[in-house]
């Protein structure tokens, strides 16, 4: 059995570049790393309760307005905890989607979510158009 010819075959196997990842794979790896970091931070923070502000990019923080301060303070604590739980779930789901190969697909319109948006907000499941639309719908409802 000619051993040499076999190894030679493998090195010139077409279609599957051994070392170089595609751009998309690199981006996914980057985002997966980002999500894992966020997950770690979140779990650490959850043990400490409110640390130095939950995350950059808090969205939809409700206007607490004229409610009694003591009550809102307590609600705020509770809400933060719930937010952390929700975010943790989102992170897990995003990591799942990366594993399943469905990451970066808008769950509303099925379109591709831009890498720039995913990078800024990896847990998102909506493309910018659908998200904007959703936020406008929410504004109307409130
Ligand atoms: Zn969409």
Place of tokens 């959703």: 134
Distance CA 49, CA 21 (A): 40
- Looking at residue 135, its pLDDT comes to 95
pLDDT of residue 60: 46
| Cα–ligand 1 centroid distance for 7 (angstroms) | 46
The model's pTM: 0.60
Ligand 1 centroid distance, CA of 111 (Å): 5
Percent of the chain residues topping a pLDDT of 70: 62
* Ion ligand 1 neighbours, Cβ < 5 Å: 106, 108-109, 111, 127, 130
Give the per-residue pLDDT at 20: 80
What 3-state DSSP class applies to 87?
Answer: helix
Q: How close is the Cα of 118 to the center of ligand 1, in Å?
A: 13
The domain locations on the chain are 23-50+67-141
Residue 117 has pLDDT above 90, yes or no: yes
CA angle, residues 25, 26, 32, in degrees to nearest 5: 85
Distance CA 59, CA 13 (A): 49
Confidence (pLDDT) at 55: 43
The CATH number given to 23-50+67-141 is: 1.20.120.910
Q: What is the pLDDT of residue 81?
A: 76
Instruction: State the average pLDDT for the chain.
Output: 76
Could you tell me which of 86, 113, 88, 85 has the C-alpha nearest to residue 28? 113
Is residue 32 pLDDT above 80, yes or no? yes
Tell me the per-residue pLDDT of 4-24, one tens digit each, with 9 for 90 and over: 445 455 455 455 555 688 988
- Going from the Cα of 26 to the center of ligand 1, the distance in angstroms, rounded, reads 23
Q: Using only the alpha carbons of the chain, give its radius of gyration.
A: 22
CA of 68 to the centre of ligand 1 (A): 39
pLDDT tens digits, 37-86: 998 888 777 664 444 444 444 444 455 454 455 555 666 566 667 888 88
pLDDT of residue 90: 94
Of 80, 60, 84, 57, the closest CA to residue 135 belongs to 60
Helix axes 23-48, 69-100, angle to 10 degrees: 150
User: How many A from CA of 116 to the centre of ligand 1?
Assistant: 15
């Amino acid at each position: 059995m000619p051993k040499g010819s076999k190894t030679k075959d493998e090195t010139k196997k077409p279609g599957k570049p051994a070392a170089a990842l595609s751009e998309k794979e690199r981006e996914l790896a980057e985002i997966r790393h980002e999500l894992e970091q966020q997950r770690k931070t979140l779990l650490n923070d959850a043990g400490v309760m409110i640390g130095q502000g939950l995350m950059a990019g808090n969205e939809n923080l409700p206007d607490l307005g004229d409610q009694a301060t003591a009550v809102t303070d307590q609600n705020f604590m509770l809400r933060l905890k719930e937010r952390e739980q929700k975010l943790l779930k989102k992170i897990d789901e995003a990591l799942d989607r990366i594993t399943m190969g469905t990451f970066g697909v808008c769950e509303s319109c099925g379109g591709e979510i831009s890498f720039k948006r995913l990078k800024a907000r990896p847990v998102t499941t909506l493309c910018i158009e659908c998200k904007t639309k959703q936020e406008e719908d929410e504004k109307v409802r409130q």
